Chains A and B, each alone.
Chain A
Amino acid sequence: MKSPAPSKTKKLIKEALGNGALRSAVFKATESSALSRQKIIDQIPYWEDLRDKAHLIKKDVIENLSKYLTQFERNCELNGIAVHWASDSAEAQKIILDIAKQNNVTKVVKSKSLTTEEIHLNDFLKANDIESLETDLGEYIVQLNDQIPSHLIIPAMHLSRKDIGELFAKKLGVEYTEDPAQLLLTARKILREKFLAAEMGITGVNFAFAANGSFCVVENEANAHNTLSLPPIHIAVMGLEKIIPDVSMLPYFLKLLPANATGQKSSTYVNFIGGPTGSAYGEGPEQIHIILLDNGRTKILKDPVLRESLYCIRCGACLNACPVYQQIGGHAYGWVYMGPIGSVLIPQFLGEKEGRLSPFLSSLCGACTTVCPTKINLPHHLLTLRSRIVDSGNSKFIERNAIKIWSKLGSNAKVYRLMSRIASFFQSKLFFNSPLRVPGYNKERQFPLIHSEGFRARFLKMNGDKKNG
C-alpha cells in the first residue's frame, strides 16, 4: 500500500496541484460538507456552549489520563473485556497477530479506523497471510486502489465516480458503471459474504467510558455494527486519548461529532459495546479485546500546550475549512492524518525531521480553530511547531541563514539604513526597479519595492508634514 512520507510533501503537493480532477473533487466535497455542517449548527442555539463543554471534558481527561485509563481497564475486566497496552505500532500488531494465531483466524473484517491506519494493520496482516478487508465503502475503495484515505471522514474524497467505476471494473471484474448506487450494490454483495465468513472483526473506538468499562463506535453504513456483531472475536484499537469519564457525557459529543463530520444531526448508528455478548444472547463476539495504543501520544502529553492536540475527536471539520487542504487534498500531507490537525500531529508523532514541512502547510487563517468542536488552538500549535522545527535545525539551510543575517542587520539601525540604501541602489540599477519574486510562489507573489529613501527618512518627513500641517 502506498504510504508516502511527510518529508516528500513538496513533491506530493506539486503532483496534487497539477491534478485538476483531484482539486475539483476535493474542493466540491469540502465545500458541500462545510455547507451541510452550517445548516445543522444553525439549528443548535447552544452550539458554542457545547464546544466549551467538550473542551473542558477533554482537558480533564488529558490532564488526568492515567486515572481514567486505569479506571477504564478495571471496569473492562469486570465486564469480561481483555485489555492490552501497546507502546507502539509493532507491539499493537503483535498483540493482534497473537490473538489471531491463537484462534486460527485467517479472515478479518475491519471498519474504518484511523488508529489502525496509523499502525499499518492491513499490510501487516496481509504479510502474515491473514485477509484483512476494509468494509466502509470509502475505505474499501481506497484499499482496492492500494492507497491510504485522503480525508478523515470521506476516505475516497479524491476519486471521482468515473475513477471508482473503472477501479471496480478492473479489480472486481464487474461491468463498468458510474452509478454510485450500483457501485455500492457491488461492494455490499461482496462484503455481506465476507462479514458472514469472518472469524475476527476489528474496529476503532470513537469514545470509551472510564466509569463503566464500555466503548462506542459511531457510523452510518452499518458496517461497523456487522464487524462488531457477526465474527466471534472482536478487537478494538483505541488511542489513549479516546477516553471520556462517563457515558452520560456522550450526548455533548454526539451532537458535535455528526454535525461537524458529515453535516448530520445524528449519525445513523451508535453502537455500544460493554462485554462479550455471545453467552448472554447467543450472538455477538465471544471474546472482546481492546488495545490501548500509545504510539507517541505520551510524548505529545509532555508538552503542556501542545497536549491540547490530543483533544481531537477526528471529526474532519478542520480539513473542510482549510484553504490549503481544499487545494491539495489529503495525500499531499504524506500520512494518515492530514489537514490542520495532521500538520500538528505529524511532527509530534513522526519527529521534527520527518515532519519539518507539515506545520508550514497552513495560511494561519484560523478557520480550523473556529470549527473545531473541542476548540483546539490549531494555528497557535502550528506556530509553536514551526519555531521548534527552526530551533532544532530542521528548517531549510537558506531560510535559516537568511533569517539569521536579517536579524543581525535589522538589529543595528545604522547598518540597517546602509543596507537598505545599497539594496535600493541595486534594485534600481540591476533590476530596473522591478520587484523580486518570492521564491517558491507564483509570479504574482512579489516582495514590495525597497524604497530609495528608507523608512526613517520617510517617517521623519511624514511627521514633519503633520506638524507643519
Chain B
Amino acid sequence: MDSRNSILKRIQEAGCYSADTSEHSSTIDLKISESIKSITPESKKDLWDQFKKEIELVAGAFYKTENINASAEIIIKFLTDSKISRVGISNEEICLKTALKIKEIESGLKIISPSQFDHAERKKEYAVTEAAVVNPSFAVADTGTLVFTLKGAGTSYPHFLCDNIFALIDESRIVPNQFELFRRLRREEMKEMFFVTGPSRTADIEKVLVLGAHGPRNLTVLMSENIAQ
C-alpha cells in the first residue's frame, strides 16, 4: 500500500467520530458578530481614522491626498530627499499613471515595471530599486492591513524587494475587518494574495524591534477620495 493510502487507512482506523457542533458554532458566531458590531465604526471616515491609527502603531505612515497629482508630489519629495533615482511599480493602471506623473515632473527618474522584464531579470531589477508604487485592493480598518491580490498586482517583487513602499488606495476600498474582507473577495482571488501590515520587521534579537528585516523598511499609504481622477 502506498503512503497515501496507508495514512488514510490509519486515520480511518483511529475511529474518529463527528459530533454535530453546528448549533454551538452558530451561537458563537452570533456572539462574535454582535461584539464586532458594537466596536466597529459606522462611517467611512471613522473607518479610515481607525486604519490610520492602526497603521501608525505598526510604524506605517498615512496621508490623505486629493488626487494622484497630490500623491505624486509626496512621493517625489521623498525620492528627492532620499536621492532615489529608480521607482518600481506594480501592474495596476493607477501605478503606471502615477509613475508617468512623477516622471513628468522628475524626468531623470527610471521607472521599473513588471512587463519590461522576464522573470530572471525582473527580480534582479527590483532588488536594486529602492522605492515602489503599488495599489492595494483593500484596506482593513481594525488591523491597519493592506490586501494585494496577485491578479491585480501581477507581481509581488516591488512590494517585497523595494525598501520604500507607497501604497495608493481609493477611499472606497476600506473594509472594517477581515471577516468582511473575506465576504468581499472573490474565491479565485483568495488563492493568490498577500496581506501587508506595516514594514517588515523582526524582534529576534533580545526582542528589540528592528524594521526592514528582509522586506521594506518604510510603508506609506496615500489614500485619495477619488483616485481615478
Contacts and interface: CB of A to CB of B under 8 A. Distances in A.
Contact of B207 (A28, A46, A223, A255): A28
Interface string A34-73: 0000000000011001101100100110111110011000
A86 interface: yes
A377 B190 CA distance: 33
Contacts of B202: 137-138, 184, 220-221
Q: Among B150, B154, B183, which residue has the most Cβ atoms of chain A within 10 A?
A: B150
A49 B214 contact: no
Contact of B197 (A28, A32, A225, A267): A267
A32 B207 contact: yes
A421 to B, nearest CB: 52
Main secondary structure of the interface of A (DSSP, over half): helix
Nearest to A64: B18
Given A135-B214, A212-B187, A254-B178, A302 B14 contact: yes
Interface in B113-163: 114, 118-119, 122-124, 127, 140, 142-145, 150, 154-157, 160-161
Contacts of B154: 281
A32 B4 CA distance: 43
Contacts of A298: 7, 10-11, 14
Given A56-B21, A85-B7, A298-B7, A283 B119 contact: yes
B196 interface: yes
Looking at chain B, what size class is its interface with the partner chain?
35 or more
Given A180-B210, A188-B212, A222-B200, A87 B7 contact: yes
A22 to B, nearest CB: 13
A195 B126 CA distance: 13
B211 to A, nearest CB: 9
Interface in A75-93: 79, 85-87, 91
Interface in B66-114: 114
A266 interface: yes
Given A66-B11, A222-B215, A270 B194 contact: yes
Interface in B27-64: 28-29, 31-32, 35-36, 38-39, 54, 57-58
A250 B178 contact: yes
B194 A265 contact: no
B190 A214 contact: yes
B123 to A, nearest CB: 6
Contacts of A371: none
Contacts of B7: 85, 87, 240, 292, 294, 298
B92 to A, nearest CB: 13
B24 A56 contact: yes
A183 interface: yes
Interface stretch (A12-20, A116-124, A153-161, A398-406): A153-161
A272 to B, nearest CB: 5
A201 interface: no
A49 to B, nearest CB: 5
A65 B11 contact: yes
A347 B19 CA distance: 28
Nearest to B183: A248
Contacts of B212: 184, 188
A393 interface: no
Contacts of A358: none
B35 A45 contact: yes
Given A137-B204, A229-B160, A298-B7, A60 B18 contact: yes
A222 B161 CA distance: 9
Contacts of A154: 203-204, 207
A138 B157 contact: no
A275 B192 contact: yes
B150 A269 contact: no
Contact of A184 (B28, B157, B197, B213): B213
Output the residue of A25, A135, A141, A229 with the most chain B CB within 10 A: A229
B3 interface: yes
9 contacts: A135-B214, A136-B204, A156-B205, A221-B213, A229-B157, A269-B196, A275-B191, A280-B150, A302-B13
Interface of A: 25, 28-29, 32-33, 45-46, 49-50, 52-53, 56, 59-60, 62-66, 69-70, 79, 85-87, 91, 135-138, 141, 154-156, 160-161, 164, 180-181, 183-184, 188, 191-192, 195-196, 212-214, 220-223, 225-226, 229-230, 232, 240, 247-248, 250-251, 254-255, 262, 264-275, 277-278, 280-284, 292, 294, 298-299, 301-302, 304, 307
Q: Which 3 A-B pairs have the closest CB atoms?
A: A274-B191, A222-B215, A221-B213
Interface of B: 2-4, 6-8, 10-19, 21, 24-25, 28-29, 31-32, 35-36, 38-39, 54, 57-58, 114, 118-119, 122-124, 127, 140, 142-145, 150, 154-157, 160-161, 177-179, 181-183, 187, 190-208, 210, 212-216
